[in-house]
Amino acid sequence: MSKSRTIVLIAILTLGAVSAFTQDQGDPTLTEVWKPEPSIIIPGVSSGPPSDAVILFDGTDLSAWQARNGGAPPWEVSDGVLTVLPDTGDIMTKQGFSDVQLHVEWRTPAIVTGEGQDRGNSGIYLMSRYELQVLDSYENRTYSNGQAGSIYKQHIPLVNASRAPGAWQTYDIIFMAPRFRAGGTVPQPATMTVFHNGVLIQNHVALRGTSVFIGEAEYEAHGSKEPLLLQEHDHPVSYRNIWVREL
């Protein structure tokens, strides 16, 4: 390169640097957002509840729950564990919830009986309507949109992260309630994100409506807060450490 060309190149580079420097001038605090200040909370140990969670079951009692048709919840609490009593019906929280972060630990029976949907079946119904399937899906094939971690008959889990029967498993769920407009339209469907044993299995999927066994799901307008429901499906599935954070 000739000497004059080198000088021109240096001049161009210098001008560029100066203009970039000029662009960086200004007040960086203009883009700082200080309010609201996120609340300071104490995270739980392992999967224990954080300090701002609503505790739904801590192993001691079912005071947060009732039978589906009212009255005392008919399931069994023993040794810090809640277990479905077959043929007694579903249970649901007394409190209603809308958008939530929900943590649930569950365990299907160590003694395996049945197959497909007839093995360790229960379910977590957000707003009493939208089922995240609980099932023994460890070496137990069933329809993919009905296995553990499926949003029943709507969304297949991304992977099968099931542990063996008798082992405790976790669901961490982010659920956003649907919004309804007068006239029955649904401008914003419900969405769910789910981690199964810490693994992402549902990534912000949109629900098509109320979970149904037969036919296509569709929305039916409901209240902005509805109880969380646990399904009794003939099998003695157990639960522990259930907590929720309203969003």
* Binding interface with Mg ion (CB under 5 A): 121, 123
Residue (62 or 134) nearer to Mg ion, CB = 134
Query: Least Å distance between CB 135 and Mg ion?
Result: 6
Query: Least Å distance between CB 122 and Mg ion?
Result: 6
Query: Residue 88, Cβ neighbours under 10 Å: how many?
Result: 14
Query: Least Å distance between CB 133 and Mg ion?
Result: 5
Query: Least Å distance between CB 161 and Mg ion?
Result: 17
Residue (119 or 208) nearer to Mg ion, CB = 119
Residue (97 or 152) nearer to Mg ion, CB = 152
Query: Least Å distance between CB 72 and Mg ion?
Result: 23
Give the nearest residue (CB) to Mg ion. 123
> Which residue, among 144, 185, 174, 177, has the nearest Cα to 162 in the 3D structure?
144
Residue (103 or 235) nearer to Mg ion, CB = 235
Residue (49 or 136) nearer to Mg ion, CB = 136
